[in-house]
Amino acid sequence: MSTLPARSMRRRRVRGTNPLEYLKRPWMQLTLLASFVFLYFPIVTLIAFSFNDSRRNITWRGFTWKYYEKAFNNASLHDAFVNSMIVAGTSTLVSTALGAMLGLALYRYRFPWKGTYEGVAHLPIVIPEICMGVAMLVFFNAINMDLSLITITVSHIAFTIPFVAVVIRARMAGFDVSLEEASHDLGASEWQTFWHITFPYMVPGLVAGALMAFVLSLDDFVITFFTAGVGSTTFPIKIYSMLRFSVTPEVNAASTVLIVITLSLTLIAMIMQSRWAKGRQE
Amino acid sequence: MEDWRKNKGAFAIFLGPASFWLLLFFVIPLILVWVYSFGERGPQGQTYLALSFENYLRAIEPIHLGIMLKSIWIGAISTAVCLVVGFPVAMGIAFAPSRWKNPLLLIVVLPFFTNLLIRTYAWIAVLRTRGFLNFGLEWVHEKANWLFALAGFPAALGEFVPLELLYNQYAVVIGLVYVHLPFLILPLYATLEKLDRSYLEASLDLGAGQWRTFFSVLVPLVMPGIVSGALLVFILSMGNFLVPDLLGGTDSLMIGNLIAREYGAARDWPFGSALSFMIMYPVFIFFVINAMVARYRTRRRAEV
């Protein structure tokens, strides 16, 4: 038996690399590269061809901004963008507050049927969006509520709450409970402890959760599709109807605007989180 | 964690508002759809409450059952492709030097934060008859033809015929894989990251090859991550509506499209409700089983 480990030790030394460093192997690098090409090629070409000076999106004919100008001057696209911002802004405010409280409660309290409660509360994350979309449509129809920006916002709040709760809970997992205990021992009330100790610790999670809720709401198509009425078109819905009609560089330009907004918000959230993580380590 | 009875007021303040919102605007709508699924359609497309299983029986009629089986099939294929593509990526990142991990993860996750609709739409330009893929193929074809001509066989390959890549089920699978890949890579990465490397080292030291170590040691150890990621991808793929709507053709109608049609043009809400609960029942059953398994495990751990 003693020969086996020795042999593999020799083999390891001969290769000169740790056998578990898979990333050093050419086939692994090639696989990763191929996956990244797969992930990026469609989006990069979509963005590139929004600058293409040709109506028929096929070959490169030179750089132009004209489809952006067209998109910006398209009144209905403009309205859709404003609608999207209203919906995303409002739903982010409400869902961040409610989701943060939910996340905090799930982090802090033990209560009967907690597992079931969590299962139901996280259901909006896992069920197919179309099921939630039709459920909201049926509900608003049953209570005789006309579909409008309000119905869209209400639905968006419902499906972003669990996402915010998950983010807050992850943030609270690193919280040192002895801080709260110290605050109590020093005579602070429950309320003072919350506002001066717990809440400041939550803030990075709140920012990350809010940005996530905003991006989710801004990007949502399926649930909005079922809860939008006449005159309450959002940006993704407008893009959908444009591309159903015809695929033009104008659609690419509008898409690129949305990509840039969501990606920059996401990057801001990520950079902030990594800063805070570093700060905590120090 | 503290017991809720210790501070009922604070507990109610924290848990109350979100519970109220989710109950009113999520749970009740779902129950309503469930109730509708036993209803009847009126002559003008109204919904009458009833207790009939007619809609479920209709859902398993051959024509609808075929669409449902097709959705399951396309969902399963997409999940399998996601696993094959996602596993090496997750492994490459998990075993990368630590300073590379975050940048690589970011590269994987970023496209995921662009709009679902746009990501799907982007594939139309790649796959269509005069799309980028066919252009690439045409270029290769041209060069190959030129080589053959040099070798003395002019026009051996004939004229280039563009492939019909869009509006079929292959395009749908590509789209679903593309859209859901991060859902698989992230949980897989998380479990691979937590994995105790010494098991792998032990296996390699004891003379097992890389492949044997992979299949007999690594895969069983990360099974929970594989299962949770794969199930999520499967549920989301099977119930997807946008991807088959944009990239699919007549051969790739999926249950999501059917639901959208019943709620839209066909205006048969009871039937649409039954169809959407045909997706929801398996999801519920899976989560109940999942919760039971988790409870069983913690209880066993407590006993040990």
CB contact under 8 A, B104 and A115: no
Continuous segment of H or E residues that includes residue A252: helix A249-281
Check CB contact of B292 with chain A, cutoff 8 Å.
no
Residue of higher predicted confidence among A6 and B164: B164
- From chain B, the residues in CB contact with A111 under 8 A are 3-4, 11
Residue of higher predicted confidence among B58 and A161: A161
- From chain A, the residues in CB contact with B197 under 8 A are 20
Q: Please classify residue B300 by burial: count the beta carbons closer than 10 Å to its beta carbon, then call 0-12 exposed, 13-18 middle and 19+ buried.
A: exposed
Q: What is the pLDDT of residue B107?
A: 85
CB contact under 8 A, B204 and A111: no
- From chain B, the residues in CB contact with A32 under 8 A are 88-89, 92, 104
Over 50: is that where the pLDDT of B31 sits?
Answer: yes
d(CA B238, CA B231): 10
Q: Annotate chain B with three-state secondary structure.
A: CEEHHHHHHHHHHHHHHHHHHHHHHHHHHHHHHHHHCCCEECCCCCEECCCCCHHHHHHCCHHHHHHHHHHHHHHHHHHHHHHHHHHHHHHHHHCCCHHHHHHHHHHHHHHHHCCHHHHHHHHHHHHCCCCHHHHHHHHHHHHHHHHHHHCCCCCCCCCCCCCCCCCCHHHHHHHHHHHHHHHHHHHHHHHHHHCCHHHHHHHHHCCCCHHHHHHHHHHHHCHHHHHHHHHHHHHHHHCCCHHHHHHCCHHHCCHHHHHHHHHCCCCCHHHHHHHHHHHHHHHHHHHHHHHHHHHHHHHHHHHC
Q: Over the stretch B193-220, which tens digit does the pLDDT of each residue have?
A: 888 888 888 888 888 877 888 888 888 8
Find which of A13-27, B13-27, B112-126, B227-241 is predicted with most confidence, using mean pLDDT.
B13-27
| Confidence band for B105, pLDDT divided at 50, 70 and 90 | confident
Report the residue of B117, B289, B295 to disrupt the A interface, i.e. the one with the largest count of A CBs within 10 Å: B117
Q: Which residue has the tokens 């005789």?
A: A144
Report the residue of A27, A30, A37, A39 to disrupt the B interface, i.e. the one with the largest count of B CBs within 10 Å: A39
Domain borders along chain A are 23-64, 67-281
- Tell me how far apart the terminal alpha carbons of chain B are, to the nearest angstrom: 22
d(CA A100, CA A169): 8
**Interface contacts (A, B; CB < 8 Å):** 256
CB contact under 8 A, B115 and A7: no
Continuous segment of H or E residues that includes residue A110: strand A109-110
Rounded to the nearest 10°, the torsion over CA B174, B178, B182, B183 is -50
Please name the residues between 128 and 167 in chain B that touch chain A, using a CB distance below 8 Å. Answer: 130, 132, 135
Q: What is the pLDDT of residue A159?
A: 92
**CB A21, CB A13: distance < 8 Å:** no
pTM of the complete model: 0.84
- How many residues comprise chain A? 282
CB contact under 8 A, B294 and A115: yes
Please name the residues between 163 and 202 in chain B that touch chain A, using a CB distance below 8 Å. Answer: 178, 181, 197, 200-201
Q: What is the pLDDT of residue A282?
A: 53
d(CA A76, CA A53): 23
Buried b (16+ CB within 10 A) or exposed e, A7-17: ebeeeeeeeee
Low-confidence ranges of chain A (pLDDT < 70): 1-17, 56-58, 277-282
Give the helix ranges, DSSP H, for A111-198. Answer: 114-121, 123-126, 129-142, 149-172, 177-185, 190-193
d(CA A280, CA A272): 12
Structural domains in chain B?
62-128+165-303 (1.10.3720.10)
Q: What is the pLDDT of residue B175?
A: 92
**Quick one: closest CA in B to A115, which residue?**
B291
Over 90: is that where the pLDDT of B176 sits?
Answer: yes
Instruction: Give strand pairing partners of B48.
Output: B40
- From chain B, the residues in CB contact with A29 under 8 A are 92
What does DSSP say about strands B47-48 and B40-41: parallel, antiparallel, or unpaired? antiparallel
Instruction: Tell me the three state secondary structure of residue A16.
Output: coil
d(CA B287, CA A126): 10
d(CA A281, CA A62): 49
- How many residues comprise chain B? 304
pLDDT > 90 fraction of chain B, expressed in percent and rounded: 15
CB contact under 8 A, B206 and A266: no
- Give how far the C-alpha of residue A88 lies from the chain's centroid of Cα atoms, to the nearest Å: 12
Find which of A15-19, A156-160, B13-17, B149-153 is predicted with most confidence, using mean pLDDT.
A156-160
What's the ipTM?
0.83
* Mean confidence (pLDDT) of chain B: 85
Q: Over the stretch B66-92, which tens digit does the pLDDT of each residue have?
A: 888 999 999 999 999 999 988 888 888
CATH topology of domain A67-281: MetI-like fold (1.10.3720)
CB contact under 8 A, B295 and A40: no
| Shortest alpha-carbon distance between residue A274 and chain B (Å) | 10
Report the residue of A50, A222, A257 to disrupt the B interface, i.e. the one with the largest count of B CBs within 10 Å: A222
**Quick one: closest CA in A to B82, which residue?**
A35
Work out the average pLDDT over B47-63.
83
Q: Which two tokens stand for residue A227?
A: 């809860």
